[in-house]
Amino acid sequence: MISFLLTAKRLLSGIFHAFKLKNFQVLFFLIVLMLISGTLFYSKEEGLSIMDALYFCVVTLSTVGHPSFEPQTSLGKVFTMIYIIVGTGLFLGMMGHIAYAIIKSSQKEEEQEQVLLQKKYK
């Protein structure tokens, strides 16, 4: 449980630091826009509930995939193909920015620890 909490803390810290980057803000906005538009589309076109449609959008963009649902209409299948191509690139770009922010924040923490150690031994 402690390991999970430490990992969650690092992730939240990385997201916080990533929000300082303009590119991340744009990617985040586009991902939210993709999730909203996908949720609305799947709830109207495929008859899914809002929660099921949002869940399908998240697992699709995160490349996990949904094992028991596939679009039934031709329009739904075409939309899903475009949604996967565009959305996966955006999602992976956002994850890359978060990873970059986590690495940078870890490096800053290590540098601060080294400075403190150097002051301690002087």
What is the predicted pLDDT for the residue at 34?
93
Q: What digits encode the pLDDT tens for the residues 23-57?
A: 889 989 999 999 999 999 999 999 999 999 999 89
Task: Summarize the confidence of residues 63-83 as an average pLDDT.
Answer: 86
**For residue 19, how many C-alpha atoms fall within 13 Å in the half-sphere facing its CB?**
6
Average pLDDT over the chain, rounded to an integer: 86
Contact predicate 31/91, CB 8 Å: yes
Please report, for the chain, the start and end positions of each structural domain, with discontinuous segments joined by +: 1-121
Helices (H), 1-122: 2-18, 22-45, 50-61, 74-120
42 contact partners, CB below 8 Å, separation of at least 6:
48, 52, 53, 56, 57, 71, 76
Please tell me the CATH code under which domain 1-121 is placed: 1.10.287.70
Q: Is the pLDDT of residue 107 over 80?
A: no
- Whole-angstrom distance, CA of residue 25 vs CA of residue 21: 7
Q: Is the pLDDT of residue 9 over 80?
A: yes
What is the predicted pLDDT for the residue at 122?
64
Q: Is the pLDDT of residue 77 over 80?
A: yes
pTM of the model: 0.74
